[in-house]
Amino acid sequence: MIRVNGSDSDVRPGETLEAVLQRLDVPPQGRGVAVAVDGEVVPREQWGTYPLTDDARVEVLSAMQGG
């Protein structure tokens, strides 16, 4: 089971981070987006080829403005 943002997901092992972003409607080229797998930030250049393993924990973070 792969967890995305703290919840169980239907993402399967072998899918890429880019596929996860598509499911979340997050544009992979969008500014202010970061992705971590098992607590390690994955560089944007690797999102299209980074395969997820079973039991991976994926966190998709977006920068927000405010005050």
Mean pLDDT, the chain cut into blocks of 10 residues (67 residues total): 95 95 86 94 96 96 73
Q: Looking at residue 67, what is its pLDDT? A: 57
Where exactly are the structural domains of the chain? Answer: 3-62
Three-state DSSP state, 59: strand
Taking the complete model, does pTM exceed 0.85, yes or no?
yes
The domain over range 3-62 is classified in CATH as 3.10.20.30:
yes
Read off the pLDDT of residues 23-35 as tens digits, 9 standing for 90 and up. 999 887 878 899 9
Report yes or no: 17 and 46 within 8 Å, Cβ to Cβ.
yes
Three-state DSSP state, 58: strand
